[in-house]
């Protein structure tokens, strides 16, 4: 009897066994299901309720017409697990020569279902895009758990992210908790030089309102991601393009920043 049960468990796909909820393990199961579905281009793997929400690049759309139905060979992914808001964020890198992508995917869990899926995607021709370089730099960084006694609070992580984004509007960079070294990956462009003095302050613009901010926060890994728009979408406030800023904070200071912006390179206007 035990052997028969073990045999059935071996043959049962992960998607049929995974239990999702707002615990850390349950959120990780949701991420695993998403990776399985995105790899196969098959949303039937996902436990979606009737009326599930689906967005791409800040636009509500029919999930059956979405990028989530495209099968990708995923080269690298990492995730934030937010128990307080019952959300996850996953950075996905695909270096396929024909269709390279970097995705930032948010899931919101409602009891045992994935109630919301939001994908911000970038690909060839978009702001500073280079999937190969993004893979090289992102996969070499340490986004793993921070020792419990050294973890920053949720408030500290959110404050650090907000201070960085607030600096875009009025240029008050002295209020940002800069860490050293700190490096930024922006679309694929890398600011680091391998120096202990590397700074994420390099190239931070002024006069842009980073608007419509929404957070996913993971205290265990000292990480916070902000879904936002790069500007308020008017002539004086930037393009309003969909954007994610992902931060790693160590001892209250910025260590890594990853940026994805859904903006065609040819549409960029500025210095």
The confidence score (pLDDT) of residue 16 equals 53
Cα 218 to Cα 87: distance, rounded to the nearest angstrom? 10
Q: Given this chain, do its domains 2-123 and 148-263 carry the same CATH topology?
A: yes
pLDDT at res. 231? 83
Q: How is the chain split into domains, by residue range?
A: 2-123, 148-263
**Beta-bridge partner residues of 210:** 230
Q: pLDDT tens digits for the chain (271 residues)?
A: 455 554 544 554 555 567 999 999 999 999 999 999 999 999 999 999 999 999 999 999 999 999 999 999 999 999 999 999 999 999 999 999 999 999 999 999 999 999 999 999 999 999 999 999 999 999 999 999 999 999 999 999 999 999 999 999 988 899 999 999 999 999 999 999 999 999 998 877 778 899 999 999 999 999 999 999 988 776 555 678 999 999 999 999 999 999 999 999 988 765 4
CA 32 – CA 117 distance, rounded (Å): 14
Contact predicate 128/144, CB 8 Å? no
Contact status, residue 29 vs residue 19, Cβ threshold 8 Å: yes
| pLDDT of amino acid 15 | 54
Running DSSP on this structure, what letter comes out for residue 146?
P
The architecture in CATH of the region 2-123 reads Roll (3.10)
pLDDT of residue 8: 46
Does the domain at 148-263 match CATH 3.10.450.50? Answer given as yes
What is the spatial distance between Cα 138 and Cα 136, in angstroms, rounded to a whole number? Answer: 6
In a 10 Å sphere around its CB, with 0-12 CB exposed, 13-18 middle and 19+ buried, how is residue 75 labelled? middle
């Amino acid at each position: 009897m035990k052997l028969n049960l073990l045999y059935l468990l071996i043959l049962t796909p992960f998607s049929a066994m995974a239990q999702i909820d707002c615990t850390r393990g349950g959120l990780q199961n949701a991420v695993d299901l998403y990776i399985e579905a995105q790899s196969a281009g098959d949303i039937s793997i996902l436990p979606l309720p009737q009326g599930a929400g689906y967005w791409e690049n800040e636009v509500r759309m029919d999930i059956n017409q979405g990028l989530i139905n495209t099968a990708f060979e995923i080269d690298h992914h990492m995730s934030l697990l937010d128990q307080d808001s019952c959300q996850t964020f996953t950075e996905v890198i695909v270096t396929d020569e024909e269709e390279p992508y970097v995705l930032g995917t948010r899931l919101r869990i409602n009891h045992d279902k994935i109630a919301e899926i939001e994908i911000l995607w970038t690909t060839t021709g978009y702001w500073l895009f280079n999937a190969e370089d993004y893979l090289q730099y992102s996969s070499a960084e340490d986004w793993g758990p921070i020792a419990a006694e050294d973890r920053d609070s949720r408030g500290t992580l959110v404050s650090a992210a907000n201070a960085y984004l607030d600096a875009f509007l009025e240029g008050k960079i002295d209020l940002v908790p800069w860490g050293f070294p700190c490096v930024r990956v922006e679309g694929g462009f890398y600011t680091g030089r391998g120096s202990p003095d590397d700074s994420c302050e390099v190239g931070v613009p002024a006069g842009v309102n980073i608007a419509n901010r929404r957070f996913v926060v993971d205290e265990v890994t000292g990480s916070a991601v902000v879904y936002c728009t790069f500007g308020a979408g008017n002539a004086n406030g930037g393009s309003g393009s969909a954007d994610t800023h992902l931060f790693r904070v160590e001892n209250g200071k910025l260590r890594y920043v990853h940026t994805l912006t859904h903006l065609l390179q040819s549409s960029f206007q500025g210095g």
